[in-house]
Amino acid sequence: MSLLEIEKLSLSIGDTPILRDVELSVAPGEVMGLVGESGSGKSITALTVMQLLPWAARATGRVTFDGIDILAASEDQMCALRGDDIGMVFQEPMTALNPVKTIGEQVAEGIRWHTRASRADAEDRARKMLDRVGLPAAQFPLSRYPHELSGGQRQRVVIAIACALKPKLLIADEPTTALDVVLQAQILDLLRDLVAENRMGLLLISHDLAVVTEMADRITIVRHGEVMETGDTARTLSEQLHPYTRQLAQASMHVPARARTHEVGLDNPLGAKPLLQVDSVTRDYPGRRKSLLKRAAPIRAVDDVSFSIDPGQSVALVGRSGCGKSTLARMVLALDGPTSGTIRFRGQDIVGKSEAELKPARRDMQVVFQDPYGSFDPRQKVEKLVAEPLHVLEKKPTNGERREMVAKALHEVGLSPRDMDKYPHEFSGGQRQRLSIARAIITRPKLVVADEPVSALDVSIRAQVLDLFAELNQKLGIAYLFITHDLTVARAITDAVMVMHDGKIVERGKTSEVLDHPQSEAAKALVAAAPDLHRAIARRLQEQG
C-alpha cells in the first residue's frame, strides 16, 4: 500500500491551469524522484501535499497520505501532520528560516510542539540532528543565527528541521542545490540512511538527473504541469522512450565546452593591465565570547588571498560550503571591507571608499546573488527590480527606453517581456534566478560576480544561460568571477579556476588542468564527489542486474 497516493490531481490559480491530471505514488521506504524544467509544477505538487497553496488555488482529484484525504483535511489536521508525519525541505533556505530565531530554537521548535518535550530534551535532540547533517557543536553552537551561516550551512539547518522527528514522508524540494559536491554526497547518504532506518518515504524534487538517478527507485518526469513519463529510474533514463526524457538526459550529459577567448590564465604573462587585482586580502570577524572577562578569538573567513582577472576573462572560484567564497565576493563588490590587503578595480583602489566615490566602479560591476528571492524586494514589480542598476548610468534612460532595456534583458535570459508586470513570488525558483541574471547584465558591465548563478536552474535552462554568459563574454568582453560548487559549470564556461579551502586559495590554474589533474586534497575531494549521470545510470543498472 502506498504511503502517498496522488490521483488525477489538477490545479489552477485563478483562471490559469497549473497541473493537469498528475498521478504519483510513494511507498514506505521508497524514494520517488520528481523531475522537470523550472516552472513545470514540481514545487506546487509538493505544496499541494502540504496544503500550503496560494489562496486563489483550486485543486481537484485525490491526494491521500497514510489513509488521510489531504484535500479534505482541516487546518488543525494539517498542523498535526506538518513537521511530524510529513517533513519538507524548502528550496530557498534563507527565506525558509526565521531570521530572528537561533538555529537551535528553530530545530527544537517542531520537536517541542509535536512531542511536548521539555526545552532541554528538545535542544539535546536538536543538537544531535545538527551534528548529523554536518554542523558540529564546536563550530556551530545552537546560539547561531541564520545570517551567520553560509548558504550551504543554512540548507543543512532546513534539512535538520525537516528530519528532526523522523517523518513518515519527507518532501525534499531541491535539497542539495546550495551544497558543495562533497557535502551533497554526505546529505544524500544521510537521506538514504533515514529512508532505510525508518522506512521513510522520500519525494525528491530535483533538476539534477545524476542526483535523482543515484537516489531514486522510481522517477516521474513532468512538463507544463503534466506527467510525461514515469517508471524505474535507471531504465527510464537509459531507454529514454519519451522525447522530453531524451532532451533532459542529453542536456544533463552534454554541457558543451565554450570557445575560449582568453587562455592567459591567472598569472597574466602577456602583461595586460588586470581588470581586477586582489592583493593579500584577509577578513576577520569577531568570535563569540566564551566568558565575560576573556576576549573571543577572531574568526578568519578569508586568509591572505591574492589573484587577478583580466578584461574578458572568466575565472571560477570553487570550494566547499563555508570556505569563504561568498565573503571574498562581497569584498570584491565593495559590499564588505577587508581587515587587511588591497583590492583594485580598473586601476582604482576600492577599499574604504564612500558610495559617491564608488559610483564609477558600481557602473561596471554587477552581481548575481546566491539566493534570488532574498535579493528582491517582494513589493516591487519585475520591471522596477530588473531596472534597479540603471540609476548608476551617466545618462538616465527615459521611461520608454527603460522598458525596452528591461524587455531585452528578460528576453536574453529566456523570459517574456510580459513578465515585467509580475511580482517575484509569481515565479518559480529557477525563473527568479533568471531575473537576477537579467538585472546583472542590463547595464552591460565589465565584471559580473556570479555567486552560484545556475544552481537553481534546470539542465536545459542552465545550458541556455551558460550560452548567454559565453555570448556576452565574446560580444561585449564581460569578465566573470563564477563562484560555484558545480564543476561542470566551471569546466564549461571558465578559462581558469581557483580552489578555496578554509579561507585560502590552495590551487589555481587553467580549468582543464586543475579539474583533470587536481593536485591539492581539496580539489581531489571536489572532483571525486562530483555526480555523473552516465556513471550513476551504469551503477544502477548493474545493481539491478
Tens-digit pLDDT profile for residues 461-471: 777 778 778 87
In the sheet that holds 479-484, the strands lie side by side as 365-368, 447-451, 479-484, 314-319, 496-501, 504-510
Q: Helical H runs in 199-345?
A: 209-215, 233-239, 243-253, 325-332
- pLDDT for residue 155 is more than 50: yes
DSSP string, 435-458: HHHHHHHTT--SEEEEESTTTTS-
Provide the pLDDT for residue 404. 93
Q: Is 516 exposed, middle or buried (0-12, 13-18, 19+ CB in 10 A)?
A: exposed
Within 10 angstroms of residue 197's Cβ, the number of other Cβ atoms is 10
CB 373 within 8 A of CB 92: yes
Provide the pLDDT for residue 371. 72
Tens of pLDDT along 508-543?
A: 999 989 988 999 998 888 888 877 788 888 888 887
Average pLDDT over residues 293-300: 81
Average pLDDT over residues 268-282: 78
Average the pLDDT over each of 10-14, 282-286, 289-293, 364-368 and give the range with the smallest value.
289-293
Residue 524 has which C-alpha cell?
A: 581531489
Provide the pLDDT for residue 474. 80
Look at the chain and count its residues. Answer: 545
**Residue 414: pLDDT band with limits 50, 70, 90:** confident
Q: What domains can be seen in the chain, in order of their start residue?
A: 25-51+83-253 (3.40.50.300), 256-285+299-364+445-531 (3.40.50.300), 378-444 (no CATH)
- pLDDT for residue 443 is more than 80: yes
Provide the pLDDT for residue 259. 42
- pLDDT for residue 256 is more than 60: no
Provide the pLDDT for residue 545. 67
- pLDDT for residue 261 is more than 60: no
Q: Provide the CA 182 distance to its chain's centre, in angstroms.
A: 15
Amino acid at residue number 155: Q
**Residue 257: pLDDT band with limits 50, 70, 90:** very low
Whole-number Å distance between alpha carbons of 97 and 79: 18
- Positive or negative: CA dihedral 179, 245, 54, 81: negative
- 3-state DSSP assignment of residue 342: strand
Provide the pLDDT for residue 153. 85
What's the whole-model pTM score?
0.74
Beta bridge partners, 35, equal 221
